[in-house]
Structure 1
Amino acid sequence: MKRYLSAAAIDVLLVLVFAASGRRSHEEALTFAGLATTAWPFLAGLAAGWLVTFQLYRDKFDPLSVFPTGVLAWVSTLLLGMLLRVISGQGTAFSFVLVAASFLALFLIGWRVLYRAVRARRPLS
């Protein structure tokens, strides 16, 4: 259970970092309300991705796996996040979609790749 909570916490934290960096780059206030407004569509997409991944791979679900967990978390965070931004009247310019896709891939897949690489280099005890 700790493994699930740790991976979920890392994913949530990285989505919040993504949202905060976006607000900062556009010189928007980093208030709780502002961050929540920017982050909620992506956090909802992330939650959906985790739920779908768990349902599809219930017997073999690994929250630390690059695929399917990392990739499906990234895809759902991006796609559902953008859809919810459109529905809520937030911007989805093409350049923003590209930047979001890149950063979310780096964050949600990247930390898992790094984790696997570090773990593979450790000698067996």
Structure 2
Amino acid sequence: MLIVVFAAQGRKTHESGTDLGGLLFTALPFLLAWAIATALTRPHRTWAQIWPAGVVVWLVTVAGGLALRVAFGGTAALAFQWVTAGALAVLLLGRRAVTALILRSRRRRRS
């Protein structure tokens, strides 16, 4: 979901339209890379883990997503690569940090 939000914001910022097809074309390379990376890191055990699982998922999502984007006929200018890496770091690692805080809070309440 966060990757779709990233793609939608990028399309809105660059006035690329909000049609579903365009949004999916923009998000799909990153969603595919994220799905592969997540599967490789055993998400049932590492859903709230920032290091190393979260960093691996983030790096594979960025690198794989950019590679797939180019393979699908898109562009990947250096500025876009930096923005992608930064935005996905905030979204993907931030989500894990929030999840870890919630889980920690729940554990404290139980004990």
**Structures share fold, TM-score greater than 0.5:** yes
Please report the TM-score for the alignment, with normalisation by the length of structure 2. Answer: 0.88
* Contact 2:30/2:62 (<8 A) preserved: yes
In structure 2, which of residues 71, 89, 96 is the aligned counterpart of residue 112 of structure 1? 96
TM-score normalised to structure 1 length? 0.79
Structure 1: unaligned runs, 5 residues or longer: 1-12
| 1:1-125 map, 5 Å | 13-54=1-42, 61-121=45-105, 123-125=108-110
User: Which SS does the other structure have where 2:69 is aligned?
Assistant: helix
Q: 1:67 and 1:111 mapped to 2: Cα distance?
A: 13
User: Aligned letter for 1:41?
Assistant: P
How many residues are matched? 109
Q: State the alpha-carbon separation in 2 of the partners of residues 47 and 80 from structure 1.
A: 11
Deviation at 1:113, TM superposition (A): 1.1
User: Quick one: which amino acid aligns to residue 51 of structure 2?
Assistant: F
For the aligned residue pairs, the C-alpha RMSD in angstroms reads 1.8
